[in-house]
Amino acid sequence: MNASLKIAPAPVHDEAEDFASLYEAAQKVYPQRVSGFFRRLKWIILVLALGVYYLLPFVRWHRGANEPSQAVLVDFGHRRFYFFFIELWPQEVYFFTGLLILAALTLFLMNAVAGRVWCGYLCPQTVWTDLFLAVERWIEGDRRERMRKDSSPMTLRRAGEKAAKHAIWLLIAWWTGGAWVLYFADAPTLVAQLAAFQAPFVAYAAIGVLTATTYALAGHLREQVCLYMCPWPRIQAALTDENALNVTYRVDRGEPRNSMKKAALLRQASEKSGDCIDCLQCVAVCPTGVDIRDGANLGCIQCGLCIDACDAVMKKIGRAPRLIAYDTDINIKRRQAGLAPIYRLIRPRTVLYAALIALIGAVMLYALLGRDYFGIAVIHDRNPLYVRTASGAIRNAYAVRLTNKKSETERFRLAVSGVPGASMEIFGGERDSSGADVIEVGPDKTQEVRVLVSTAIAQPSGSIPVSFVARTEDGVAEVAADHFWSP
């Protein structure tokens, strides 16, 4: 370093600010047992949701001899999706698109009405975490006991408890993965195969992956998923408005917080004291460890368990329930101003979401009910585009594919129109007793035939439109358009 160079003294620098860690270590949350309306509601939803998930693959639905009899089945091998009375082919994948749009709009509507209903009651992360927490409480005890045990030295008994808890978690996780693969094959058959170690490798791999993710997400990551991994809290915050009902601490009633004794004294002296006695029960029961009294919060999944906890306390101390309740900031301000609260369920956004849901649902239903059982698709031969035959006629060749979505064999007759003087020859069909061409398509199958169309009458150079009509014996007609090329 050049000694003659004068170096200015370093400016005063807040090192802590410059090098503060951007990493926030996770604080372990020990949710406490709670009972009440919302807890009961959550149990009911949990039982229903998991019941549907675990048992649905075993529900049978008779479709006839040629088709699987599983009510809900994603059959990748045969490229079919079965849902009770609905059977979808790959080309009808737009029904899934519609379903996803409906799901998104329903999520938005729920949010417009009552905030994060999805997060609090229905999200798989919430449901499975609830189940895993119940197991944890059952084996290791409630909040205080778990906190005490975690800070005490490891004993043999403690190790046993931990082993039991993780074993049950893994068992649930394994069952979760196991139920998943049953949606992709005949469930009873696959269960037998799995038990005999004869199932396809991909089934075991899928079970393994889902066991690992369930165990990790519901057992270990829990609220971290909601805080850091899930995009919905961010989107939800941008979508919500001031009229949406959210789990809210009613500041107007609760503040100023005081101990019971102090509050009693203050009230005796006719001074104001809030209903909140700062017992922290709302924080103790929270599965994500937030303090609802801090107001709207990204970490709050709005499961309502703090409402239950607070109501129990209010009952004990003889104050009115619902100090924490589904409410809005507007109403807090109105009450503070001495006005009656307002609940505006019908607003432009709820109406719009509901209307869109109804519209898309109606379109999908219409499409589903009016769906054709048969189909025809035509591809013109690429090379040669046309052939001049020995007699001088012009001939074009097409591949015509007929689709039969019914569970019985269907017989089609093919006709062509649009080309003057056209005659048609079919390869790959059959002839009936009168010598006419008949194309037989098996149940739930497609059949391709080669069709040659010739005409001896000179056509304009280039192409003219031509249409093919396939008729079933019951007279149902399917039409496809293509072109007839001439030199």
In the complex, which residues of this chain contact other proteins (CB under 8 A)? Answer: 1-2, 10, 13, 15, 18-19, 381-384, 387-392, 395, 397, 425, 427-431, 439-440, 447-450, 452
Q: How far is the CB of 292 from other proteins (least distance, A)?
A: 37
Q: What does the alpha-carbon distance between residue 381 and residue 448 come to, in Å, rounded to a whole number? A: 13
Q: How far is the CB of 22 from other proteins (least distance, A)?
A: 14
486 beta partners:
462
Question: Distance between the two ends of the chain, CA-based, in angstroms?
Answer: 87
Query: Which of residues 128 and 374 has its CB atom nearest to other proteins in the complex?
Result: 374
Cβ(84)–Cβ(91) under 8 Å? no
Query: Which of residues 312 and 387 has its CB atom nearest to other proteins in the complex?
Result: 387
Q: How far is the CB of 217 from other proteins (least distance, A)?
A: 21
Question: What amino acid occupies position 143?
Answer: R
Three-state DSSP at 129 gives helix
Query: Which of residues 218 and 419 has its CB atom nearest to other proteins in the complex?
Result: 419
Q: How far is the CB of 404 from other proteins (least distance, A)?
A: 13
Task: Write down how long the chain is.
Answer: 487
Q: What does the alpha-carbon distance between residue 222 and residue 365 come to, in Å, rounded to a whole number? A: 38
Quick one: how far is CA 463 from the chain centroid? 48
Query: Which of residues 261 and 382 has its CB atom nearest to other proteins in the complex?
Result: 382
Query: Which of residues 12 and 238 has its CB atom nearest to other proteins in the complex?
Result: 12
27 beta partners:
none
Q: How far is the CB of 454 from other proteins (least distance, A)?
A: 8
Q: How far is the CB of 399 from other proteins (least distance, A)?
A: 10
- Closest by CA to 219, choosing from 140, 166, 142, is 166
Q: How far is the CB of 346 from other proteins (least distance, A)?
A: 53
The alpha carbons of the chain give a radius of gyration, in whole angstroms, of 34
Quick one: how far is CA 127 from the chain centroid? 14
Q: Tell me the C-alpha to C-alpha distance, in Å, between residue 404 and each of 32, 372, 411, 446, 469.
A: 58, 9, 9, 6, 15
Tell whether omega for the bond before 384 is within 30 degrees of 0, i.e. cis.
yes
Tell whether omega for the bond before 153 is within 30 degrees of 0, i.e. cis.
no
> Tokens in use for 140?
């290791």
Q: How far is the CB of 442 from other proteins (least distance, A)?
A: 10
Query: Which of residues 19 and 85 has its CB atom nearest to other proteins in the complex?
Result: 19
Determine whether 92 is exposed, middle or buried from the number of CB atoms within 10 Å of its CB (0-12, 13-18, 19+). middle
Query: Which of residues 242 and 430 has its CB atom nearest to other proteins in the complex?
Result: 430
Three-state DSSP at 326 gives strand
Query: Which of residues 10 and 238 has its CB atom nearest to other proteins in the complex?
Result: 10
Q: How far is the CB of 425 from other proteins (least distance, A)?
A: 8
Query: Which of residues 257 and 483 has its CB atom nearest to other proteins in the complex?
Result: 483
> Tokens in use for 162?
């931990």
Which residue in this structure is represented by tokens 């001939």?
A: 395
Q: How far is the CB of 405 from other proteins (least distance, A)?
A: 19
Q: What does the alpha-carbon distance between residue 426 and residue 408 come to, in Å, rounded to a whole number? A: 23
Query: Which of residues 82 and 386 has its CB atom nearest to other proteins in the complex?
Result: 386
Q: What does the alpha-carbon distance between residue 165 and residue 132 come to, in Å, rounded to a whole number? A: 9
Query: Which of residues 82 and 412 has its CB atom nearest to other proteins in the complex?
Result: 412
Per the rule left: phi > 0, alpha: psi between -120 and 50, beta: everything else, 110 is: alpha
Q: How far is the CB of 393 from other proteins (least distance, A)?
A: 9
Query: Which of residues 36 and 429 has its CB atom nearest to other proteins in the complex?
Result: 429
Which residues have C-beta within 8 Å of that of residue 25, sequence separation ≥ 6?
Answer: none
Pairing of strands 422-427, 445-455: antiparallel
Q: How far is the CB of 385 from other proteins (least distance, A)?
A: 9
Which residues have C-beta within 8 Å of that of residue 469, sequence separation ≥ 6?
Answer: 414, 415, 416, 417, 477, 478, 479
